Structure 1
Amino acid sequence: MSTAMADSASTPGSVDDPIVTKGYVDGAISTLVQQEIAKQVPSAGGGGSSKLETVAVDPGKKLIVDDGGEIIVRTGKAVAYSSDANGLSDLTEGLDVKPGKAIVNNHLILNPRGQRGVQPDPNQTKGLIVLVRGAYKLQ
């Protein structure tokens, strides 16, 4: 018959078996969670984060956002850009914006997937000011 015995070499509160406070455990867990969140934020070389970032898009350039990225055009006339025939989601009006079609300022635009984004309207000489959430690049 075998009997399970506790390790008697460790005394609670000793160096081998320290007693920790709830605050210490909460802090350690918070640090680990923040590190994991930081690993999940993609980097596309152009920028991006979970915060809204102000980005200037010069004439002739395109702002391409990663899958799930959000765009709000603040100033200038913008048109949707896509590397294929699919468009962007205008969440404010609940519409699909096809490539080359105008994007209404101050509307929340979502890139559901693929290489999509916005560019200044070719008929204007000024660029755009947009708010972006998520990873993006300027081309």
Structure 2
Amino acid sequence: MSVNKRVMLGTAILAITIMIGAYSFSNADSPSTNPGSLDDPIVTKGYVDGAVSDLVKQEIAKQMPSAGSGGGSSKLETVAVAAGQKLIVDDGGEIIVRTGKAIAYSSDANGLSDLTDGLDVKPGKAIANNHLILNPRGQRGVQPDPKQAKGLIVLVRGAYKLQ
């Protein structure tokens, strides 16, 4: 290797070394270079997992209404509807007819949403068993078909009343 090439290589190495040293010196007071200090505390994985778990539980609690707030139950409840009775479900309530022949009930001309078939069930029309029925607004529900002597067994999610 010629002398000129050696001098140029040496000069390049010296310049790179000076730049690295200057960069390290300028970042010496940065908090990231002092792990464990007040500016950059060290935490364990267990601490982070616990903190995240607590935050998730708080958010879930905000989303779920308490039992006394009138929000209804998030669990399916089995309800027997006797012949001549009506099951009225609050807004957003869900119904699944398990046994018996049911017809839709509404205090107005609007019906229930059959989410299984994607249909609107008008008042007085039959509701198929094992279909998920959504009550979009109050004063709607199901009643046993007057042509049968038996009542209904239904699953209900949400607040309801028997009339």
| TM bin (shorter chain) | 0.7 to 0.9
Corresponding position: 1:134 with 2:139: no
| Structure 1 unmatched ranges of 5 or more | 1-10, 13-18
Tell me if 1:38 matches 2:64: yes
Deviation at 1:117, TM superposition (A): 0.5
Separation of aligned partners in 2, 1:135 and 1:26 = 33
Flag the structure with higher strand content. Answer: 1
Whose Rg is larger?
A: 2
The question of 1:50 aligning with 2:74 is answered yes
Identity %, equivalent residues: 70
Cα distance in 2, alignment partners of residues 134 and 96 from structure 1: 20
| Structure 2, unpaired ranges of 5+ | 1-36
Quote how far apart the aligned CAs of 1:58 are.
1.6
SS in structure 1 at match of 2:64: helix
Distance 2:137 2:115 in 1: 15
Structure-1-length-normalised TM-score: 0.73
Query: Aligned residue for 1:112?
Result: 136
Which residue is equivalent to 2:106? 82
Task: Give 2:96's aligned amino acid.
Answer: I
Moved more, 92-101 or 31-40: 31-40
How far 1:40 sits from its partner (Å)? 6.8
Give me the CA root mean square deviation. Answer: 2.4
What is the match of residue 49 of structure 2?
23
The Cα offsets for residues 9-47 of structure 1, whole Å up to 9 and x where unpaired, read as xx96xxxxxx78113312321331232133377626xxx
TM-score, normalised via structure 2 length: 0.63
**Deviation at 1:138?**
1.9
Number of matched pairs = 120
